[in-house]
Amino acid sequence: MKICGLLLFLSGFTAITFAADKPTIRIGVQASGTLAWELSVLQGDDQYKKLAFQLETQAVANSEAGKIALQSGAVDIIVSDWVWVSRLRATGADFTFYPYSTMSGTLVVPENSKIHGINDLKGTRIGIAGGELDKNWLLLQALAQQDKLDLNALVEKVFGAPPLINEQLKQGRVDAMLNYWHFGAKLEAQGYRQIIDGKGILKGLGIQENVPSLGYVFKQSWATAHKQALNGFLQASKNAKKLLCKSDSAWNKVIPLIQADDVPTQTKLRQRYCEGNVTSWDKAELQAAEHIYALLRSVGKNQLTGDSEHIQPGTFWAIE
């Protein structure tokens, strides 16, 4: 019995040591974000224990809280945007970006609205998630400028948090809203109408490539030191996304996380989420990102991008 007990003890010790030997990736996650869906699938898969890393998730309240957690060293990875990364690199920081999703914002109106295009926005009241430097708002202005329309002068703007902007539209306090894609998708499922989304805005600006708007952001020095674990995580994340888009059983398991009880909303969220899959990240997309950066810099008068004329070298992480 003593020998058996010793063997069991050693067996348990070996298992603990093996797990401890795996690099731990600390990742900041918003409870309402799509990353939580993917991590749920990834960690629930039988193959998770065989991967060359282990995950430690830390809840963050919103995107700004995630940025603070990353900069303070509380987490290793968050989901954020490459414009922010480039601006930080201009100050000497070594953060870098790897694509996560091509979905961004959407302009939505009530079904019976007289607004059918950007020209119809004149004299209306628009709810905008974020502030004056929201990227979707800046790019929408750039698109309007092609028709010699100055949206800043032609509309009344109401800025606020995404959930608040949704409620403003529901209550008829604004005529249209420019919000993040998942907030727009929830309203679309209730009969609201999309005028244009982030991809449509870019295409109107002559940018045909689907440029990732969001990505995994982490320190380059950390990535270099944990290359195998990071690459394994990035691949596992892609696999989890594919599974959510192809497998109904995988999708059904994350429904409790998506904060929507009705099937139409669940279906629309899944559709929009899967439309954000990154299918290409090459020279064409990198050049398109530079074009977007120039537009944001011009319309935002350097307030969003900082003084750098171009995206900082190293902003985009390349898997080796």
The predicted-structure confidence for 47-80, as pLDDT tens digits, reads as follows 788 898 999 999 999 999 999 999 999 999 999 9
pLDDT, position 319:
75
Q: Could you count the other beta carbons within 10 Å of the beta carbon of residue 113?
A: 16
Residue 17: the pLDDT is 34
257 DSSP 8-state letter:
G
Domains and CATH numbers, the chain: 2-102+211-299 (3.40.190.10), 105-204 (3.40.190.10)
Q: Cβ contacts of residue 263 below 8 Å, gap of 6+?
A: none
Task: Give the helix, strand, coil percentages of the chain, each rounded to 5.
Answer: 50, 15, 30
pTM: 0.91
pLDDT digits (tens, 9 = 90+) for 2-31: 444 433 333 343 333 345 578 999 999 998
pLDDT at 8: 37
Question: CA neighbours within 13 Å on the CB side: how many for 212?
Answer: 22
Closest among 281, 216, 219 to 80, alpha carbons compared: 216
d(CA 316, CA 209): 16
Q: Which pLDDT belongs to residue 4?
A: 43
**What's 213's DSSP letter?**
S
Name the nearest CA neighbour of 80 among 219, 251, 283. 219
Q: Which residues of the chain have pLDDT under 70?
A: 1-20, 320
CA-closest candidate to residue 34, choices 224, 227, 215, 273: 273
